[in-house]
Amino acid sequence: MNRPVTRITRRATLGAALALPALGTARAQSAWSPSRPIRIVVPFGPGGVADLTARAVAQRISERLGQPAVIDNRPGAGGIVAAQQLMAAPADGHTLLVASNGTAISKALFRQLPFDPLTDFAPVVTMGAFPIAVVVAPNSPDRDIAGLLARLRANPGRLNIGSITAGSTQNLSAELFKIRSGTQFETIAFPATPALTTALIRGDVDAAFEITGPIMGQIQAGALRVLAVTSATRAENLPDVPTLMEAGVPDYDVASWNALVARTGTPPEAIAAFNQAVNAALATPELRAALTGVGVEPRGGTAAAMGELLRADTARWTEVIEKAGIPRQ
């Protein structure tokens, strides 16, 4: 059974965590320290999960490095607007960008970008990941993921699976599911989560791929049933739900994620200082609990690991976009 956590409680918990002092608030001993406020550019509007994650981490960076960390929300154009802000700033460690799996997708989805995520961005650290769930309506005949797979194989091309926006991680996750499971179905993209869930409950689509955060309330209320998650391991906020790989879908490991990057050319000492500060923040029980409460699984790790994640996702989504025949923008 899913653990009951209300939307209000999740937001309130994160807000409370922002007000808590980080463990060891003394400025870290480092070979590099910022000389002025740090700017963190977020390619999403205020209030979303990525924005809340960035704000929580920014508070800890400020406490550890001794300078304010200011969030600069720059939504629009698939993250291009925000990335251009990073590219226009000096590569001196005082400007960071929140990158995501959308950054990896953009290289394959857009015909032309004013930057190359693989060469123009210097990886810093992965902050968190967001599980994607395969969900059905409560009256669906599919009681588990094996049932959905059996029905897809018995009815090739006759079922519909929904997601939000074409080219989104959720949409490409459905296309990758088609490839890895060897099934055929129509993938239908909706403009936003409310339209997707309405279509699912109404029976316009047979199943849907969506990030757990926006639909957790409906899952807990029984308005949606979760069949599987797309990550390699079970989601912390859905521990009883199997993964697609557990259900026999080979080589399937997908999660939305966000991370911090700097401009290429940023001093390695600055990248190391930020990496240490974020890892220390993510190790605190208060922040881990707060992020988990809003559907974010804290990650951390090395800058090199973050860079490998970006490269691997770029290669994977390029393959999926080409095989699915999704037109480049």
Name which of 240, 249, 266, 257 is nearest 309 in CA terms: 257
Q: Round to whole Å and give the CA distance between 244 and 174.
A: 12
Does residue 283 sit in the same domain as residue 308? Answer: yes
Percent of the chain surpassing pLDDT 90: 71
Range of the domain at 24: 9-129+256-321
Name which of 276, 2, 281, 245 is nearest 128 in CA terms: 281
Does residue 123 sit in the same domain as residue 151? Answer: no
Residue 60 pLDDT exceeds 60: yes
**159 and 152 in contact (C-beta within 8 Å)?**
yes
23-37, 49-63, 296-310: which range is least confident on average? 23-37
**255 and 129 in contact (C-beta within 8 Å)?**
yes
Is 2 among the domain residues? no
Reported confidence tier of residue 21, pLDDT bands at 50, 70, 90: very low
Please tell me the predicted confidence (pLDDT) of residue 14: 47
Does residue 219 sit in the same domain as residue 270? Answer: no
Please tell me the predicted confidence (pLDDT) of residue 188: 97
Per DSSP bridges, beta strands 207-211 and 297-298 are: unpaired
Please tell me the predicted confidence (pLDDT) of residue 30: 53
Please tell me the predicted confidence (pLDDT) of residue 229: 97
- What phi and psi, each to the nearest 5 degrees, are found at residue 316? -65, -50
- What phi and psi, each to the nearest 5 degrees, are found at residue 239? -65, -20
- 261-290 per-position pLDDT tens digit: 999 999 999 999 999 999 999 999 999 988
Q: Round to whole Å and give the CA distance between 112 and 94.
A: 27
What CATH number should be reported for the domain holding residue 277? 3.40.190.150
Average pLDDT over residues 59-74: 94
Q: End-to-end CA distance of the chain: give it in Å, rounded.
A: 42
Reported confidence tier of residue 26, pLDDT bands at 50, 70, 90: very low
Does residue 67 sit in the same domain as residue 157? Answer: no
Is 14 among the domain residues? yes
Does residue 34 sit in the same domain as residue 143? Answer: no
Does residue 112 sit in the same domain as residue 152? Answer: no
Across the chain, mean pLDDT equals 89
The two tokens of residue 197 are 């869930």
Radius of gyration, CA atoms only, the chain:
20
Please tell me the predicted confidence (pLDDT) of residue 15: 45
Please tell me the predicted confidence (pLDDT) of residue 166: 86
Does residue 264 sit in the same domain as residue 248? Answer: no
Percent of the chain surpassing pLDDT 70: 91
The two tokens of residue 18 are 């922002």
Is 1 among the domain residues? no
Residue 5 pLDDT exceeds 70: no
Q: Examine the fold and report which residue of 254, 277, 306 is the final residue of a domain before the chain moves on.
A: 254
Is 328 among the domain residues? no
Q: Examine the fold and report which residue of 254, 269, 293 is the final residue of a domain before the chain moves on.
A: 254
Does residue 202 sit in the same domain as residue 53? Answer: no
Is 3 among the domain residues? no
- 276 vs 23, residue with greater confidence: 276
What CATH number should be reported for the domain holding residue 238? 3.40.190.10
Where would I find the H helices in the chain?
Answer: 7-19, 49-65, 80-88, 101-109, 117-120, 145-154, 169-181, 193-202, 212-221, 268-282, 285-293, 303-324
Average pLDDT over residues 233-239: 90
- 124-173 per-position pLDDT tens digit: 999 999 889 999 999 999 999 999 999 999 999 999 999 998 888 999 99
Is 112 among the domain residues? yes
Q: Examine the fold and report which residue of 254, 284, 303 is the final residue of a domain before the chain moves on.
A: 254
Is 123 among the domain residues? yes
- As for how many domains the chain has, the answer is 2
Please tell me the predicted confidence (pLDDT) of residue 329: 79
Does residue 275 sit in the same domain as residue 316? Answer: yes
Please tell me the predicted confidence (pLDDT) of residue 213: 83
37-41, 98-102, 248-252, 293-297: which range is least confident on average? 293-297
Q: What is the pTM of this model?
A: 0.82
Does residue 119 sit in the same domain as residue 76? Answer: yes
130 secondary structure, DSSP code: E
Q: Provide the b/e sequence for 188-223 (b: ≥16 CB within 10 Å).
A: bbbeebeebbebbbeeebbbbbbbbbbbbebbbeee
